[in-house]
Amino acid sequence: MKFKVSFVVQILLQALRQGTTPRKLAVTCALGLVMGIFPVFGVTTLLCLGVAIWLKLNVPVIQLINFIVAPIQILLMIPFIKAGAYVFQLDPFPWHYDELLALFSTDLWLLIKEAGLSLLTAIGIWALLAVPLFFIVFYPGYWFFSQWKVTRYREL
């Protein structure tokens, strides 16, 4: 699937044209990024949808950002797990791919226990980073969308 920057720009510009304030658009993008790197596969779409509905944010924008950061979520999974094991002073996740497959068929409960604990520590690390990351993305985003709205509307 080919990804085009112009498509992203059109979605963001359309949100501004429909009355979304630059502040709300920055909040939407920051939350989309933070929720999009949540270290559990398959739940970020529902998390983003729930947050967007709850906070009355633009659903297409938050899902777009979630989609864009999906590769980053995959890249951060192992570092989150390793950092969680280090911070919470647990043994690193001891299983390799072949062992995981064998555990899946022989001792599913042990697999759930081990993988679940690793995911919980990864979620803990994500939670520690979520608020600072939100603000790191929000403030430049707010400035950018405020400036962008002014210059884009002058061009139209």
Domain ranges of the chain: 5-155
Listing DSSP states for 97-127 in one string gives HHHHHHHHHH-HHHHHHHHHHHHHHHHHHHH
- Please give the Cα distance from 54 to 57 (Å, whole number): 8
Report in angstroms the alpha-carbon separations of 82 from 6, 21, 42, 76, 122.
Answer: 37, 39, 20, 10, 8
As to burial, measured by CB atoms within 10 angstroms (0-12 exposed, 13-18 middle, 19+ buried), residue 19 is: exposed
pLDDT confidence of 99, banded at 50, 70, 90? confident
Query: For all residues of the chain together, what is the average pLDDT?
Result: 86
Radius of gyration of the chain (CA): 19
Q: Per residue in 19-43, pLDDT tens?
A: 889 999 999 999 999 999 999 888 9
Question: For 44-67, b where at least 16 C-beta lie within 10 A, e where not — what string?
Answer: beebbeebbeeeebbeebbbbbbb
Q: Per residue in 130-154, pLDDT tens?
A: 999 999 999 999 999 988 866 655 5
- Please give the Cα distance from 42 to 35 (Å, whole number): 12
pLDDT for the residue 89: 87
Calculate mean pLDDT across residues 115-142. 93
Give the distance, in angstroms, between the CA of residue 84 and the centroid of all CA atoms in the same chain.
18
